[in-house]
Structure 1
């Protein structure tokens, strides 16, 4: 299946939104964070997930305001839940969808909760992953904060590092195309406004009014969102089940796609939640096998700030060629293919390298 044609909906406040609808069966709306649905079709793992889901459900994808194929010229002061609800309403109405299940993914988790609480007649089921009703809780991990600091410093480096940090290490074509999807999803000013607005989003008051059955999924490493956030979310929803997925890659349909797809589609089509078997994910021993020196740890810890080699040299009080020598040694020891890989490596271990002894 190739990327389906784009359709366009218009919100009540005049924003044009690009969306796609394909597949057969009950409707699932995969709600966006910063997205570019056309570019996301080029990511092998995501394309495979779309195709597999479309064999079980009618899948709807859309770009939220300011992103992807949707209007880029928007009011940057209007990116809270009401704006995101207008986007969802517009897509559902234009597509002629009376009821749907919602996949609230990362930033969209709060919007999915709010819509289910305020328009219960239009929501069948909820699948929630990676976000929280109080979005600030989902943005607190040190890795996330370090990534967000790159947005203004170096947009291209942010895209490369985010792809590697959130997809995992050595993901080949998936990493390259994911970085391109991040890079083309929006602009740095819009992304900054999106995340600033997200820190103020709080829909905890809506939780008791959600009547749709909910499946809350968690798969995060220790540097990511604590599982307690998702346990509180599941406990606060009237009809929810929490499944703690094995693995550490903070995404769905990548680390164990068959299991994730079976779990999600089973819940959407029959309401059942199948057991998920734990499995070993292995460990990364590159640094353990080739220890970094204290100075190399310091250089690695500073890379996520987005400084050039000259700026790193000034901060550390050393020569530029010394920085270059340290970087070459770091790349060799951790198996990095370049600066973006090293930044992603540092971000995944931010508590180890940001303040080295």
Structure 2
């Protein structure tokens, strides 16, 4: 009860342009990371041990913002069920950032909110530092297509309680007793069956594919799915379509973050958001994170095809990154670039 009271007292409330009230929390230190919602109840989610650990761990390195989307959790439940497209979700994000006084932030798009993160980054590039994307796709219907997901969604308006229990265990892989119980409770209390059905119906029509090319922020696309969930190819296409994206396929079958090998998931996210280089990685000033990765692999002797395979991107994307690298460091070709990467000279033309 004490934890619940503290969490309720820590809630802040922002008002979107259309009058919908959005509940959110802001805590931690460092660069701002907004963990964007799907169906959420941030107060109930704090009771889930794995999520509580993730929130606290992230907050040691970043200023974390959590919020409930319209119609869910602590946010206004009285909403227009015919207005749940990407523009409505963008109004929620705008409201939270404005109320929190945040001009620039990194965004963690999680399942449903991947499209909102992409759309915001495309339309407001000056306000987004980095993107972390997990579990969703530009066409949300692709991430809703697996047979297991369709079976679960059929329960939404038939038996809301059964849907919550099934989603907590089968859909999101929360199979331990405490996590499963609290996750089911978080689903059950997140919203009503009517709002959830409207959310999923609207999600099936959301498509931000045309906005991908306008995203300028570096993106980290994470994938961990079992055989019955979203295939890796969906995320490979997403990473390839973004101008500066890296795909990391995490081992395991639990289709969520911060459960299997939580320490590595947390390290990947915090290092990416804070811009901390991996140990031993060469620092190349003026290059984007993706360009530094390409240059580092080039210096390790890998071909364009091998670089593409390692980073989960197309060969022509590697070639585009290398062209940009050559221009920025003044290299005339691969040999000059490797010499620069190894730190043998500041500018290959001054040899």
Using structure 2 for the length normalisation, give the TM-score. 0.77
* d(CA) in 2 for partners of 1:262, 1:165: 26
Question: Paired residue for 1:44?
Answer: 49
Secondary structure of residue in 2 paired with 1:228:
helix
Q: 1: CA distance between counterparts of 2:268 and 2:247?
A: 12
Task: Give the Cα separation in 2 of the matches to 1:274 and 1:221.
Answer: 30
Where do residues 135-150 of structure 1 align in structure 2 (5 Å cutoff)? 135-150=140-155
Partner residue of 2:82 out of 68, 77, 80: 77
2:95 aligned partner:
90
Q: Is the 8 A contact 1:105 1:130 kept in 2?
A: yes
Cα distance change of structure 1 residues 175 and 142 upon mapping to structure 2, 3 Å threshold: same
Q: Report the number of matched residues.
A: 275
CA distance in 2, matches of 1:261, 1:174: 18
Distance 2:197 2:279 in 1: 39
* Larger RCO, structure (CA 8 Å, separation 6 or more): 1
| Corresponding position of 2:249 | 244
Residues 263 and 273 in structure 1, CA contact (< 8 A), matched pair in contact too: no
Q: What's the C-alpha RMSD, in Å, of the aligned pairs? A: 1.4
**C-alpha distance in structure 2 between counterparts of 1:272 and 1:182, whole Å:** 37
- In the alignment, does 2:247 pair up with 1:229? no
Q: Decide which of 269, 278, 290 is 2:274's aligned counterpart.
A: 269
Query: Do structure 1's residue 218 and structure 2's residue 233 form an aligned pair?
Result: no
Corresponding residue of 1:10: 15
- Alignment check: 8 A CA contact 2:20 2:70 kept: yes
Distance 2:248 2:106 in 1: 18
Taking a change above 3 Å as real, the CA distance of residues 148 and 272 of structure 1, as seen in their structure-2 partners, is: farther
1:346-357 to 2 correspondence within 5 Å?
Answer: none
Q: What is the distance in 1 between the residues matched to 2:11 and 2:279? A: 34
* CA distance in 2 between partners of 1:165 and 1:107 (Å): 18
| Structure 1 portions without partners, runs of 5+ | 276-357
Distance (whole Å) between structure 1 residues aligned to residue 191 and residue 120 of structure 2? 24
CA distance in 1, matches of 2:126, 2:172: 36
Distance 1:234 1:9, change over 3 A: same
Runs of at least 4 residues off by over 6 Å: none
Equivalent in the alignment of 2:208: 203
Q: Distance in 2 between matches of 1:151 and 1:215?
A: 31
Alignment of 1:203-352 (within 5 A): 203-270=208-275, 272=277
